[in-house]
Amino acid sequence: MPAPDLAGVRPPPPGKGKRGEQGHLAYLLRQAQAATRLTLERRLADLGVTPPQFAVLTMLRAYPGLSGADLARVALLTPQTVGVIMRNLERDGAIRKTPHPVHGRVLQWTLTRRGNALLDQCRRPVQALERRLVAGLGGKAQATVRRWLSKIAADLQQDR
């Protein structure tokens, strides 16, 4: 028996059917993350920065002096990826390393003046994207979404 013709079968667009409110939460989170990442990639490309580089710069501003291993954990990247990113950012003068004052073999990373300026440039398109993400949500709804997403990350962290 021949296979049915599937040429006319198309999944619904995002936001419809199982790709919308009827979908599984984990899938919807992944779909939203993928759309957000692609948009972020496009917006940062003009500045020559990738989303993982942006994450590293952001975490170093928030937590100066992180080691490479700690940076990989908080940026949600592999140590190998962070190693490449740090080498490139250091080469470009955006970050610098210093030995840890107690554990001399541990390197601590901080943003340079150039790195801070680059991060400030990146923040403009990122903030525009974030405004788009929360469009139509009031302050309470935004707080609820942030609390819910943070709770998911914290709760599932225990499963690692």
pLDDT tens-place string over residues 80-97: 999 999 999 999 999 999
DSSP H or E run through 97: strand 95-99
- 107 three-class SS: strand
* Structure-model confidence comparison of residues 36 and 8, the more confident one: 36
Q: Alpha-carbon distance 48 to 52, whole Å?
A: 12
pLDDT band at 142 (very low <50, low <70, confident <90, very high): very high
pTM (2 d.p.): 0.85
User: Given this model, what pLDDT does residue 6 score?
Assistant: 60
Token pair 């929360």: residue: 134
Residue 17: what residue type?
A: G
Q: Is the pLDDT of residue 1 over 70?
A: no
